[in-house]
Structure 1
Amino acid sequence: MHVTLAEELMLLSLDDESGVAKDSSSAGWAVAGGLLADLALAGRIALDEGRLSVTDPTPTGDPLLDGRLERLAEWVGRKGPGKAKAADWLTKDHPTAVRATVRRLCERGLVVEERHRVLGLFPVRRYPEADGSVERELRGRLTAVIRHHEAPDVRTATLIALLHAARLHGLAFSDLPRARVELRFAEIAAGDWAGESVGQAIRNMHVAVAAIAAVTVATAATAATAAVS
């Protein structure tokens, strides 16, 4: 089953048994970045020094990607030439992108939606695993690249670059020393594993996601410090 980078990132984020999203804030940025990365790999968008443009509005055939492409084309058109920044789009789109990605995972039968009420009042949704075949294949690819130092294909390298940008090393390898995983992720993120135009687009994506993730982490740390004081 072919799934998007965003769906792969979401599967890594969701706890298989409880369905709770781990590192949900940073994962949300990565998921939104994954949708842009897939559109870049499909030749539908370009990124140049942080600016977005739609180079081909033709649908890809994937409903999740085509939904983002349509929204993105409309947004870029409103912004005007040279004014549509990737960071602005990620900030605007990431909550919607996460919801759309989870909905698509449910439609595929990979996760199932469970609804609960906390204290009998507050509605909460969880998405435990229903079919683990896709995530097992995904983790197998990551293991081959990180543990056994095999060369990644373009999609796996892009996925790793997004995980690295959003500082989500633990989602992929919670049992390995973070420094080891971080070093290998950094090597792959900096590698020449795609064509020049696509590679440049993904590097731009990495910078945008990393910048937003850094702000998210710093904000969370400040809030935690304030709560303790």
Structure 2
Amino acid sequence: MAITLAEEIMLLSLDDESGAAKQRQAAGWAVAGGILLELVLAERVSVSGKYLRLVDPTPTGEKLLDSRLLLIQAWLRGRDKRRVTEWLTKDNSKAVGAALESLEERGLVVEEVRKVLGVFPRRRHPEADGSVESALRERLAAVVLEGAEPDERTAGLISLLHSAKLHRLAFPGPVDKTVAPRMQEIATGQWAAESVRTAIRDMQAAVVAATVATFVAATV
């Protein structure tokens, strides 16, 4: 079963048993970035420097991506380009919900709703089928821990996880000091066409900038 980068990041962030999302805020940036990267790979949008452009509005056939494609088109409001950070800021929390809905539709998680204090609904998404996540973690381990060459999508996924500092989601066991340097190496390596690597680099910068801005705002 092929799932999107955003869904892969979401799977890594969910506790398998409780269904609670770990590092939800940082994961939100990575999930939104994952959708954007998929659209770059599909040549529907471009990311260059600080800006996002719509290249081709034709649907990809993937519901999660196409819903964002329509939103980006509306968000641009006829403009040629807008800042990547603006889009990620707008979409990061909503992208999480969209990715969870997609995972539920695929039968990989189930939604459980419980009331906190008997009033406020709390949604959790425990795992229903662990085979996809297991294969994903094996793929990441092969590349990051064992030195295998990544394919384009795996390298993009690792780059997003690295930029959002989600190393422990991918490798939750005892701290391995080689993980972060290896993920950095992959993020800057010659693993894809220059245009895609440039987009990843610029999205990494946008994710870092947006994350820092959110932290500063929360502490003021």
TM-score by length of 2: 0.95
Deviations 1:100-127 (A, max 9, x none): 1100110100000000011212110000
Match 1:215 to one of 198, 213, 216: 213
Q: Secondary structure of 2:123's partner? A: strand
Q: 1: CA distance between counterparts of 2:54 and 2:87?
A: 13
Corresponding letter in the other structure for 1:214: V
Corresponding letter in the other structure for 1:98: V
1:195 aligned to 2:193? Answer: yes
Partner of 1:42: 42
* Percentage of identical aligned residues: 54
Corresponding letter in the other structure for 1:81: D
Where does 1:147-166 land on structure 2 (aligned, <5 Å)?
147-166=145-164
Partner of 1:93: 91
Where does 1:1-229 land on structure 2 (aligned, <5 Å)?
1-78=1-78, 80-82=79-81, 84-177=82-175, 179-217=177-215, 222=219
TM-score by length of 1: 0.92
Q: 2: CA distance between counterparts of 1:20 and 1:28?
A: 14
Q: 2: CA distance between counterparts of 1:51 and 1:97?
A: 19
- 5+ residue gaps in structure 2? none
Residues 165 and 213 in structure 1, CA contact (< 8 A), matched pair in contact too: no
Residues 32 and 97 in structure 1, CA contact (< 8 A), matched pair in contact too: yes
Q: 2: CA distance between counterparts of 1:74 and 1:169?
A: 34
Residues 26 and 216 in structure 1, CA contact (< 8 A), matched pair in contact too: no
Deviations 1:1-43 (A, max 9, x none): 1100000000000000000000000001100000000000111
- 5+ residue gaps in structure 1? 224-229
Displacement of 1:176 in angstroms is 4.0
CA RMSD of aligned residues (A): 1.5
Residues 160 and 189 in structure 1, CA contact (< 8 A), matched pair in contact too: yes
Q: Which runs of 4+ in 1 moved over 4 A?
A: 217-220
